[in-house]
Amino acid sequence: MNSPDTGGAKDLLHLLDDPQEWPVFSRPDPRRADCWESNLLIEGMHCAACALTLEDALLGVPGIVSAEVSAGSHRARVVWSPNTVLPSTWMRAVEIAGYRAVPANDAFARERRKGEARKALWRLLVAGLCMMQVMMYAYPAYVAVPGDLSAEMEQLLRWASWVLTLPVILFSCGPFFSSALRDVMHRRVSMDLPVALGMLITFAVSSVGTFDPQGNFGREVYFDSLTMFVFFLLAGRWLELRLRDRTAGALEALMNRLPDSVLRRGQDDQFERVPVRRLQPGDVIRILPGESFPADGVVQHGDTAVDEALLTGESRPVARGVGGVVIAGSHNLTNAVLVRVERTGDQTRFAQIVTLMESASTSKPPLARLADQIAKPFLMGVLLAAGLACAFWWGRDPGHALMVAVAVLVVTCPCALSLATPAAMLAAAGALARSGVLVRRLEAFEALAAIDTIVFDKTGTLTRDALVLGVSRLREGITAKQALAMAAGLAAHSLHPVSKALAAAAAEGGLTGLWKADSVKEVAGAGVSGQVQREDAPHETHELRLGSATFCGVTHAQTDSVQACLADSLGWLATFELYEDVRPDALDTIANLQGAGIKVHLLSGDGARAAAGVAARVGIAQWKGDCSPQDKLDFLQNAQAQGHKVAVVGDGLNDGPVLAGAHVSFAFGRAVPLAQAQADFVVLGDQLGDVAKSVQLARQTLRVVRQNLWWAAIYNAVCVPLAVVGWLPAWLAGLGMALSSLLVVLNALRLSKSIPSLEKT
């Protein structure tokens, strides 16, 4: 670790104090006025104790409002007041603590991580090669009977083992020693300190035994044990790094979706390549096949297939033609298209998704906070236990006493305990992100696993925003196609949901454009009127009205559906019944939740008839219509007062209070700005089944967390006594520690593959 006090480092940090640079790695905090929120990658972290050390270092800087550091994702979220502190000050505090803070969207962060991974692999390979050679030299001493090995031969083998152990100590053990030295200099304890002490003690004892074979420590050397447990520890850490990157890969893959530059049309209609940050709303850009869309926009020319899988969970490519909306971060698959930019930078849906995922990756569930709090006192206990064990055995055999202390130091490292919760929840969050569900807070998994009641909003949640055409009643002599084609001529001039539904039905039936309307007038809340002519018979003109029964001057029977009437100069012509488009998977989702023992309720702001109709179609027995936001909140609070754990699913538009008050909540992201959503989970696509999948995955996640915690507890309960009584050699202690952490991460990794199996219960 380079010294943070070098002049070059100071100059680089001071560059970040320019307010124009803040948006590169920070954003205004939406919850606190006059504060900024920065998301960072932390280099040099290894454990939960590191996370606590960093949080203490940051919170000790005046002007830092809050700081959260995740040991699982190696990310930090810092909220700071620019009126009191500048970025260079609190970033220097991170460096003084012995770590390095890198902006989460730094273009070179991924390359640095690859470099660190290569170094870790080289350390592992050197340790493995030397271990195998040292084991070859140690083997004769294990199998030889008295007289087989001369003193000179045994001493030669020891010297050869010592020489081969030097690269392991000087190179492979570097991260352990540098981390331990940093902790000693700052008078603190981390998980690398007992491990580094164990390595140094083993090497020192064996070296003394090699230099002075007749002394107190000359009876036996432990180079084979040292190289073996170093190899096991490095192997476990390297695999752990790979698995952690894999579980948290959804965020990195998402953040790297935007291109660095794009072809923009200039005033001379020529295209030039410009940096993405120079795009402005209204610009026209050309996106070639294989490129990502750098901003939200509308297709102006061309048609193509777009991959939105990582943003919406839609696994199949979607067609986008002229007028189609494209979102930043999605991939153009087939043809070049021209796109008019509508939103850039932080205003895009992509940026809001990244913000949510960054927030989730730094949040700490209560179980993880408990493990972090236990880690430091546990490590102090480890050092004390090792000292007592060494003192107990010293009088019998000093060499054996030191190796017992080494075994205690190594085997009790609480890595598995600190990884148990964040590893599982990050894996689950990554799996949901790939399925199109964003997790705002990791602690929401605990709440979601415990729910026994779920409340759905109707419009925009159980139903789509659009209406669909149902049955049509017609005047004698008029066919359904004729009536729909005539209505579509008027509907094309209105943005009302009913007009959109009729226009969509006509387009689906190939009836668009058969009739054209002139002199169209729209009366808000009533309907549209105008003169309609056949395209192939312009002399045939009809004066038509499309809208409510009152607007059209007709009467009709009440039904559960929305109705639109069509009338001409002779009177009533047709009545179109339209229904709310219930999501195709709504019925299966409700059955899935009820089968899991969860009570399902429907609360809607629409009338009772509409609420009852949708409830019957999706299989919900408990429903209520005409609900104001306060009525929904009252229902929620009454249910909670009765001891129920309630989840709420809404579209986020008028459900803010009830979403915020629920134990856990879902919002459909297409219906609300993501940055303003109050929900714990945001469903990016249109699949209601994602709610049921999330519930099942949350329950599975809590089972995995409990399994991990029990494993860590049992492992320590069994291995610590064995190490203290001297029955656990150092190499086996290293293997146990590595396998313990690896088992926890592998168990958590099962969650990242769980989404496909949740289709049916």
Condensed to tens digits (0 to 9), the pLDDT of residues 459-506 reads 778 887 677 888 888 888 888 888 999 898 888 888 777 888 888 888
In a domain, 351, yes or no: no
Question: Is residue 544, in this structure, part of any structural domain at all?
Answer: yes
**DSSP of 94-146, one letter per residue?**
HHHTT-EEEETT-TTHHHHHHHHHHHHHHHHHHHHHHHHHHHHHHHHHHHPPT
Q: Does residue 475 share a domain with residue 412?
A: no
DSSP state of 570: T
The neighbour count for residue 731, using CB atoms within 10 Å, is: 23
Instruction: Output the pLDDT for position 407.
Output: 80
Q: Please name the helix (run of DSSP H) or strand (run of DSSP E) that holds residue 318, with its range, or none.
A: strand 318-320
Residue type, 504: A
Question: Residue 320 is part of a domain; what is its CATH number?
Answer: 2.70.150.10
8 A C-beta contact, residue 511 and residue 488? yes
For residue 114, what are the CA distances in angstroms to 253, 315, 507? 14, 29, 52
pLDDT at 507: 87
Do 90 and 186 lie in one domain? The reply is: no
641: domain range? 436-462+583-698
Q: Is residue 613 part of a domain?
A: yes
Least confident of 12-16, 220-224, 478-482: 12-16
AA identity, residue 570: L
Helix, strand and coil percent figures for the chain, each rounded to 5: 50, 20, 30
Count Cβ atoms within 10 A of the Cβ of residue 199 and give its class: 0-12 exposed, 13-18 middle, 19 or more buried: buried
CA distances from 699 to 141, 431, 618, 693 (A): 53, 14, 24, 10
Inside any domain, residue 430: no
Tell whether 444 and 491 lie within a shared domain. no
Question: What pLDDT is stored for residue 590 in this prediction?
Answer: 92
Provide Rg for the chain, Cα atoms.
Answer: 33
pLDDT band with cut points at 50, 70 and 90 for residue 126: very high
CB burial of residue 751 (10 Å; 0-12, 13-18, 19+): buried
Q: Which of 64-73, 103-112, 714-723, 745-754 has the lowest mean pLDDT?
A: 103-112
Q: Establish if 758 belongs to a structural domain.
A: no
Q: What DSSP designation does 89 have? A: H
The domain boundary residue, chosen from 582, 607, 630? 582
Residue 760's pLDDT is 39
Q: Retrieve residue 47's tokens.
A: 């454990």
Spell out the long-range contacts of 89-92 with Cβ–Cβ below 8 A and sequence spacing 24 or more: 89/61, 89/63, 90/58, 90/61, 90/63, 90/64, 91/13, 91/16, 92/4, 92/10, 92/13
Q: Is residue 659 part of a domain?
A: yes
Phi, psi of 287 (to 5 degrees): -110, 120
The reported pLDDT for the residue numbered 170 is 92
The answer to which of 631-635, 720-724, 726-730 has the lowest mean pLDDT is 726-730
Burial label for 297, CB within 10 Å (0-12, 13-18, 19+), is buried
The answer to whether 303 and 280 are in contact (CB under 8 A) is no
For the stretch 241-286, pLDDT in tens is: 675 565 455 555 555 567 777 888 888 888 888 877 788 888 999 9
Q: Which of 558, 582, 606 is the last residue of a domain?
A: 582
Tell me which residue has tokens 């020529």. Answer: 270
Confidence at 219, pLDDT banded by 50, 70, 90: confident
Q: What is the pLDDT of residues 314-366, one digit of tens each?
A: 556 788 888 888 888 788 888 889 999 988 876 776 776 666 655 555 555 56
**Measured between alpha carbons, how far is 397 from 568 in angstroms, rounded to an integer?**
109
Question: Which has the minimum average pLDDT: 131-145, 183-197, 434-448, 534-548?
Answer: 183-197
Q: What is the per-residue pLDDT for 107?
A: 46
3-state SS, residue 286: strand
What tokens does 732 get? 């086996």
pLDDT grade, residue 384 (50/70/90)? confident
One domain, residues 364 and 238: yes
Instruction: Pinpoint the alpha helices (H) of 168-191.
Output: 174-185
398 and 540 housed in the same domain: no
Number of domains comprising the chain: 5
Regarding whether 381 and 308 lie in a shared domain, the answer is no
CATH for 618: 3.40.50.1000
Task: State whether the Cα torsion 266-270-271-275 is positive or negative.
Answer: negative
Residues 457 and 599 reside in one and the same domain: yes
Residues contacting residue 486 through CB under 8 Å, at least 6 positions apart: 515, 532, 542, 544, 566, 573
pLDDT at 673 over 60: no
User: Is residue 316 within 8 Å of 299, Cβ to Cβ?
Assistant: no
pLDDT at 356 (0 to 100) = 60
For residues 502 and 569, state if they share a domain.
yes
The pLDDT value recorded for residue 162 is 93
Residues 41-50 have pLDDT tens digits of: 787 776 666 7
Residue 5 pLDDT: 42
- Residues 474 and 388 reside in one and the same domain: no
Rounded CA gap, 610 and 124, in Å?
A: 65
* Structural domain ending residue among the three candidates 525, 548, 582: 582
Counting residues of the chain whose pLDDT is more than 70, the rounded percentage is 81
Give the model's confidence band at 105: pLDDT under 50 very low, under 70 low, under 90 confident, else very high: low
CATH of the domain at 502: 3.40.1110.10
Domain identity same for 592 and 456: yes
**Terminal-residue alpha carbon distance, the chain:** 51
* 661 pLDDT more than 60: yes
- The strand pairing partners of 438, in sequence order, are 682
Q: Bigger pLDDT: 679 or 157?
A: 157
Evaluate whether residue 254 is within a structural domain: no
Non-local CB neighbours of 569 within 8 Å, separated by 6+ positions: 542, 543
Question: For residue 480, what is the DSSP state?
Answer: H
196 and 243 co-located in one domain:
yes
Query: What are the angstrom distances between the C-alpha of 585 and each of 589, 649, 654, 689, 759?
Result: 6, 15, 23, 6, 11
In a domain? residue 380: yes
- In degrees, rounded to 5, the angle at the alpha carbon of residue 250 between the alpha carbons of residues 246 and 252 is 90
Closest CA to 303 of 318, 314, 285: 318
Question: Which CATH number belongs to the domain containing residue 59 in this structure?
Answer: 3.30.70.100
pLDDT at residue 202 tops 80: yes
pTM of the model: 0.62
Same domain as 736, residue 653 = no
* pLDDT value for 746: 80
